[in-house]
Structures are given as structure tokens and as C-alpha cells.
Amino acid sequence: MDDYKFLFKVVLVGNAGVGKTCLVRRFTQGLFPPGQGATIGVDFMIKTVEVGNEKVKLQIWDTAGQERFRSITQSYYRSAHALILVYDISSQPTFDCLPDWLREIEEYASSKVLRILVGNKIDREDREIPENVGEEFAERHNMYYLETSAKESDNVEKLFMQIAEDLMKQARTRDLPRYDSNNQTIDGRTSTINDSSCCSRLQ
Amino acid sequence: MDFEFPKEFDVIIVGTGVIESILSAAASRVGKRVLHIDENEYYGGQWASFNLEAIMKLKNSQKERIANKSDSNFLSFGNDLFNIKNIDYKFHVLPKKNKVCSEEKDKEVVDNNLQEVSQDDNEETWDEELLIKTSRKFNIDLCPKLQYARGNFVELLISSNIARYSEYRSVTRILTWLNNHLEPLPCSRSDVFANTRVSVVEKRMLMKLLTSLNDEEKETQNYESKTFKEFLTDKKLTSNLVHYVLYGISTSSDHTQCKEGIQKAKRFLNSLGRFGKTPFLFSMYGSGEIPQAFCRLSAVFGGIFALGQPIEGFALNDEKFKSLTVRSQTIKAEHLVMGIENLPKQFIKSKKHDYISRCILITNKSVLDCEKEQLTLIFYPPENNKSFTTIIELGYLTGTCPNNVYLVHLIAKQDTSPQEDFKHIIDKLFINSYHEMAENNHDKPHILWSYYCSINDSNDVELTEDLPKNIFVCPGPDLDLDYDFSVTKAKKIFNAMYPDLEFLPRAPDPEEIIIGDDEITEEAKEITEEAKEITEEAKEITEEAKEITEEAKEITKEMTEEAKEITEEAEETTENEINDVKNEKQETISEERQHTVE
Ligand SMILES: Cc1cc2nc3c(=O)[nH]c(=O)nc-3n(C[C@H](O)[C@H](O)[C@H](O)COP(=O)(O)OP(=O)(O)OC[C@H]3O[C@@H](n4cnc5c(N)ncnc54)[C@H](O)[C@@H]3O)c2cc1C
Ligand SMILES: Nc1nc2c(ncn2[C@@H]2O[C@H](COP(=O)(O)OP(=O)(O)O)[C@@H](O)[C@H]2O)c(=O)[nH]1
Ligand SMILES: [Mg+2]
């Protein structure tokens, strides 16, 4: 089960209601819409994908609703390898908030994190933000751009697969933020002594 | 944000300090509906970490609000008793470098510069502008804490599965100020033996003492009302050893009671060898991560969070908390929990206040240079009426400062003022003026920036009796090195609110959560339960088997012993008999001789 070679942390941000949770669930479970109660107690979802014969494990973190009142914990951003900033193409306010989100990302995430701008809900008829406007915004801020529909499953697989491929490429060229270089996993039950200079994870 | 809060909760929590955050997680975890708000834009209140610019923006704030409603049943949040005081900061480096600093230079370039500069061994390159530019790389704790590897707090992190939200580094060395030097504190068996400053006789004494502490009951019989220092002195330890054990291993003062001192020493010793060479862990990116980790768990289990809220006040009814007013919304809840800084003044009984003196320094190198970056804890014992001081020195690897500088925290019970309380230490360990720098003083670290403040220690504050029974108050930071007291306090409040519910049971791992059709989920749950039971049973059987094996071993051992004894006895007997025979023979011979003589 644990025969993956790479593990990447991917986090989603953006206004409440833009479809972050739906994107994660669509990709990891193929569900839409996700059952309501099911959100409780879910911290991040995991899906293993294959990139060129290599198994890559994506650990996808959702906001736990803390974006509603602008209270995402800083640690949510820490150690992230990729960051998906989502807005709703049928809602101008969710697009107008992007600069605020960028400021928060600048503050707490590593400058090397892979950033993707996603315009979600393209299945909707009442589009308010034309595709080229989103694309230009992304270009101006050095981000990839993709439009998706969690509902119709448009581009969802592509979004995460592209992230996995990109991160793999970076990992090969060693251009990735290296969070785990000297971190160690410590199992609380077996109590091992490690090189004292190491960073420890308690589990 | 144009979202409305729901109108009713089980518990409303105001303030995101450590104890409030632990309670938030605990309540959400058992299914309670939690609203958690803070008037600050950041998590943690006085337990928070700040970047360099942000900590300089903190104010000696006066935040008492006047109730603007004449209703005696409506109370305003907050009091002015627990504000941070005596804030005083200063750059000890030139405001601007003469070197040209192009404006559009981006961060990477700055980083590269730093690297180059350090290779040139040029210490004067840090200036105000550069420090401000790297502001974001600092995570400066108002209240830095360490964690005992086997303390209640770490056990809680592990048992509740909250450990996954943060990373830790172990403290790599402990130093103490002794005989006018910084010396490594020998704390483990190998340390004791590796320490060249401890004589062989002292080594033996120390090992004997450390071993004997396990037999606490017997050892403390006659020390009911005596101090740990008296106990150690009576053990005829040398003054160096008393120093190590008293100020180091037991993190005690001259007045610590014997029993407490022993317990503290034991906690220290028990925590050795779990995660590193010392008993302590530090949470990466600063202690401010800790309240956030608990808040994240609370949110994952449905807690609703809102920072930067203009909290107004709350209404009482029948001497009980009834509802909270925030952004002109009225929200009901069964319980109200708040940090003591949010409590209306009328409920605070004692007016006497204890303060914690704090000093934070950015320096250009470690107090004791070493090849590898160290995370250092220093115990600075009481000296000339100055309080015991704890010093924590953090480097780049802890995620609290940029490369090539160190962040130094000094913590002590306030005596007069932070400046005066620490002056003797600053003078001994650091260089803090251009003047001194000019004197070729290259050994000691230079102070690049300093920050002083006083933080209220509200842990002994008494509250009035008329505090409504469904309002719970969490004290602010304490002087302890660790969070164990906070865990105890949070548990106590939780048990008062929910006496029958479990405190922070383990949160499932993502792999364990099965999402889908509710029926399937139920079924899966049952199967999991069953599987668990079977595993439990299997475990029990294994345990039993083990016990039996142990017993069998014991019996074998006993039998072997017995057999040995019997053999030995037999041997002895044989020997005796042989001797007897010999004796007899001799006797016979002598008799015979006698006979012959006759
Ligand atoms: C969350 C995070 C964790 C990291 N953990 C490690 C680690 O365990 N081991 C390791 O060798 N490298 C670690 N790094 C450093 C990483 O490999 C890169 O060197 C770093 O991201 C370089 O980007 P930057 O200088 O543009 O950082 P920035 O984008 O300027 O920094 C982003 C944030 O990360 C913090 N940060 C940056 N570098 C580090 C660091 N080395 N350690 C702690 N905090 C840091 C900063 O204080 C800032 O808050 C970490 C970086 C980040 C962002
Ligand atoms: N039409 C449409 N609705 C969507 C899509 N994705 C999400 N939604 C809806 O948008 C609402 C918010 O989705 P959610 O995933 O909870 O948003 P979050 O707050 O960002 O996590 C829900 O009612 C979803 O059904 C989509 O691609 N198309
Ligand atoms: Mg969501």
C-alpha cells in the first residue's frame, strides 16, 4: 500500500462556496455533490496517481471551512508543494478577492510553491468572468490557469495530474522546496532516538 | 465578509490562546457546536508568534471597552489588566548600509547576498533595512515554550492525533551558567561520563543520586516541609552538582519544595532518550503554531472560526450567560469560554499582578559557537537577587529566523523591569553597543535588535464568586517551560462542561475515513469495530501468552536456581562429608597412633 515514491502536499484556497471541497471530492472519490455530513472530521484526502511509471501520492488539504471568516491557520500553508487558488466563474466577488488571497499566500507559503489559478463551475450558464480575464490574471501573477467543473468532472483529473507531473519534474531537477530533507517521522509508540539535529514529526 | 453566524451554539469561545484552543478542539471533537472568535486578526493572543515588523507594531494596548448599553445584564468584553506592558525595541545596527541596495532586488538575491556576506565573515552587514526585508522569515514568540518529550502535552498531541499539524525539533544542547562560564549540563548517563569538568567522584555521586530519585517515597521521608536544595545539600553533593541538579535537571529554584523538585527532576529524566539528546522539543515556526494546530482540529470537526471580530459583549439572564453580541448579531450558547483578557473587570477579585519579564534578541551568532546549528536551552541561575532566567536560542533550522542570525529569548519572573532583570545576563553573554563592537570583541554575539516587554502572569488571579456558572475563564501564559499546566487546566474546564465525555479522543487518519453511502459507511464502521475487537482480543491473547512465557521463564529460572542451590548444597554436603570422613579417618589414625604409642 505504501509503495509510493513521492508525497506532495497540495492545498486549496479561495472564497467559500467556489467549489474547493467539490473539486477534491470529485478527484479523490468521483463524487458530486459530496454528502454533507461526510465533511466532518476529514482533514485531507489522499490519492495515489501514476506519473511515468512512478507512484505519486497526493495529499490534498481542504480549508476546513476556515476561509469563511478569513481565519485559515498559517500552518495550513506550511510545507505545501502546490497551491490551488479557486474562484467561481459565475461570481465576480470571488474573483475580486483573488488579490487578498495572493497577499495571504505571499505571507505564509514558500515562494517556491507551485501556484495554479482555477476558475470553477464552467458548467454554469451565467458566467461573469470571461476566460481570458482569468488567464491574464494568472499570467500576471505567475500562475498556471485552468477552468474546471467539479459538477461535470471537466478538467478535474487534468488539474491534479498536471500538478503531479509538474511537481515530479521539479523534484527531478531538485527545484522543489525540500521540506523532508532532514525531517523524521517519529512514531509515538516506539520511541526512537534520532539524530538530534533532526526535525521530528510526532505521530 | 457577508456571512452570518448561525444563531445558536453549544459553546462560544472568545480568544485563541493555548487553553482556549485546546478546549475548542476538545468540544468540537465530541460533536459540540463551537463558535470560536478572536478580536485579533491573528491566532494565539499572547501565545502568538509574529514576524519582525508585526511584533514591532504591537502596542501597550489599552483595550477596556465601556459598556454603552445601560442594561446591567449586558456586559462588555475585556479589561485593561492583562495588557502587554513596557514594550521597548531598538535596532543595534545602522539604519542603512552605505552599500547600494537596489529597490527591485528580490528576495532570492537578498538571500544570496547573505550567503556571500557570511562567507566573508563580515559581521556588520546586517542593517535595519535588511532585517526588515527578511521580516517574514521571523516567527517571534511572545511566549516561547518547550515540550517535555514525555510530558502530558506531547502525550496529548500523540493520543489525539493533533501532532500531524506541526513539526518539531529537539533541543540539541542544554547549557548552564556556572563559575562564570557557559557549561553543558550533564543530563544523561553518557553526558555525565563525557563531561570533563566533573570529577570521577562527582560522577559517582551524581549517578547514585539520579538513580535514587526513583525511590522517591523513601528518599523524601524527612523532607516534608524542606526545600529541594536542602535535600541536595544534605546528600553531601559538591556545589557544582547541586547546581546541575537544582537549576538544571529539576529546573527548580532555591525555594522549590523537595517533593516538587524531585518530581520535576524525574520528569526531566523520564523524557530523555525519546526524540533526541535532551528531554525537550520545540515546535517549528514558533510556539504560535500550537494554538493553531488545535484550532485546525476544531475546524475539521465542524468548529466555526472567525478572527478580527469586533466583539461587543454578552447578555446574562438569571445570573447565567445567555447570548453574545458580535457584529450586531445575537448568538446563544450553553457555555461561554474566554481568555482572561476578555473578562469584564468586575469579575476579577485580586488586584495584585505578577509579570513575566521578556527580552528577545536577534544576534549574529550563537552564544557558544558550534559547527552544526544548535537549538540551545540555557538555565541561568539566580544571581545577586536576580531571578532564575530561562534562555532559548533558536537558529534558522527552527523556521523562526533567517539564515545566519539567531533569535534569543530570555524569560524570567519579573522583579523590577525587563531591562533591569536581564541586564547582568546581557552584559555577560552579548555585545550590545557600537562602542563595544569597536573593541574587537569577537567572541560574543552582537545584538542586532532587541525587544523588551512584560507579560502578565494571570495564573494566580482570583475571580469573584458571582461569575456565572456557565462562564469559564482561561488564564494567559505562565512561567513554566512547557504546556503541561495548560493541558491540565483545559481538561478541568472540559470536565466541568462535559463530565461524561472523553477529552480529545484520537482523531482518525484520513485513510481510516470511509466516505460514501451512509449505510455502507455504517456497515464499514461495524466491520471496523469488529476487526478492532478481534485485534484487541488477539492482543490480549498475545499478552497472556507473553505472561505465560514470562511465568514459565520465571519458573524455569526459579527451578534452575533451586537446582543450583541443591547442587551447591549437595556439593557442600559432599565436601562436608568428605571432610567428616577425613576427620574421622584422622581421628581413627590418631587414635591408632595413640594405641601404638601405648
Ligand atoms: C514551510 C517550509 C518548511 C521548510 N522546511 C524545511 C526543512 O525542514 N528543511 C530544510 O532544509 N528546508 C526547509 N524549508 C526550506 C525550503 O527547502 C526552501 O529552502 C525554501 O522554501 C526557499 O524558499 P524561499 O527562500 O523563497 O522561502 P520564503 O518563501 O521566503 O519563505 C516562506 C516561509 O517559509 C519559511 N522558511 C523558509 N525557509 C525555511 C527553512 N529552511 N526552515 C524553516 N522555515 C523556512 C520562512 O520563514 C517563511 O515564513 C522549508 C521551507 C518552507 C516554506
Ligand atoms: N454548477 C456547479 N456547482 C458547483 C461546482 N462545484 C461546486 N459547486 C457547488 O457550489 C457549492 C459550494 O461548493 P463547495 O465545494 O462546498 O465549495 P467550498 O466552500 O469552496 O468548499 C455547492 O453547492 C456545490 O454543489 C461546479 O463545478 N459546478
Ligand atoms: Mg469547503
pLDDT for A151-161, tens place per residue?
999 999 999 99
Check CB contact under 8 Å for B372 and A197: yes
Q: How far is B501 from chain A (nearest CA, A)?
A: 18
Max intra-chain CA distance, chain A = 59
Q: Say how many Å lie between the CA of residue A176 and the centre of ligand 1.
A: 11
Q: What is the C-alpha separation between B512 and B455, in angstroms, rounded?
A: 43
Check CB contact under 8 Å for B301 and A40: yes
Q: How far is A125 from chain B (nearest CA, A)?
A: 24
pLDDT for A148-200, tens place per residue?
999 999 999 999 999 999 999 988 886 666 554 444 333 343 333 334 344 55
Angular region, A64: left φ>0, alpha ψ -120 to 50, beta rest: left
Q: Is A48 in the pocket of ligand 1 (CB under 6 A)?
A: no
Instruction: Give which of B16, B34, B296 is closest to A67, Cα–Cα.
Output: B296
Check if B105 contacts A (Cβ < 8 Å): no
The gap between the terminal CA atoms of chain B, to the nearest Å, is 130
Q: Is B136 in the pocket of ligand 1 (CB under 6 A)?
A: yes
pLDDT for A35-48, tens place per residue?
655 567 778 889 99
Q: What is the pLDDT, as a whole number, of residue A195? A: 40
**Average pLDDT of span A84-89:** 98
Q: Give the global pTM.
A: 0.81
Tell me which of A46, A94, A202 to substitute to probe the interface with B (most B C-beta atoms closer than 10 Å).
A202
Angle at alpha carbon of residue A43, lines to A38 and A49, rounded to 5°: 95
Compare CB distances from B511 to A37, A40, A46 and report the shortest one's residue.
A46
- Chain B partners within 8 Å of A142 (Cβ): none
Q: What is the pLDDT, as a whole number, of residue B550? A: 79
Q: Is A81 in the pocket of ligand 2 (CB under 6 A)?
A: no
Q: Given ligand 2 and candidates A22, A60, A128, A157, which is best to mutate, with the most ligand atoms within 8 Å of its CB?
A: A22
The predicted complex's ipTM stands at 0.88
Check CB contact under 8 Å for A69 and B293: no
- Chain B partners within 8 Å of A201 (Cβ): 163-164, 167-168
pLDDT for B273-302, tens place per residue?
888 889 999 999 999 999 999 999 999 999
With a cut of 50, which residues of chain B have pLDDT below it? 1, 99-123, 516-520, 596-598
Q: Is A25 in the pocket of ligand 2 (CB under 6 A)?
A: no
Q: Give me the DSSP letters along A98-142.
A: HHHHHHHHHHHS-TT-EEEEEEE-TT-S---S-HHHHHHHHHHTT
Q: Which helix (H) or strand (E) holds B408?
A: strand B406-413
- Chain B partners within 8 Å of A78 (Cβ): 285
Tell me which of A9, A42, A47, A71 to substitute to probe the interface with B (most B C-beta atoms closer than 10 Å).
A71
Residue ID of nearest Cα to ligand 1 atom 42 = B399
Q: What is the pLDDT, as a whole number, of residue B538? A: 78
**CB-count burial class (<10 Å; 0-12, 13-18, 19+) for B403:** middle
Task: Mark which residues 160-179 of B lie under 8 Å from A by CB.
Answer: 161, 163-170, 172
Residue of chain B with shortest Cα separation from A33: B516
Beta-bridge partner residues of A8: A58
Q: Give me the DSSP letters along B499-568.
A: TTS-SSPPPPPGGG---S-HHHHHHHHHHHHHHHHHHHHHHHHHHHHHHHHHHHHHHHHHHHHHHHHHHH
Q: What is the pLDDT, as a whole number, of residue B173? A: 93
Residue ID of nearest Cα to ligand 1 atom 19 = A177
Beta-bridge partner residues of A10: A60, A82
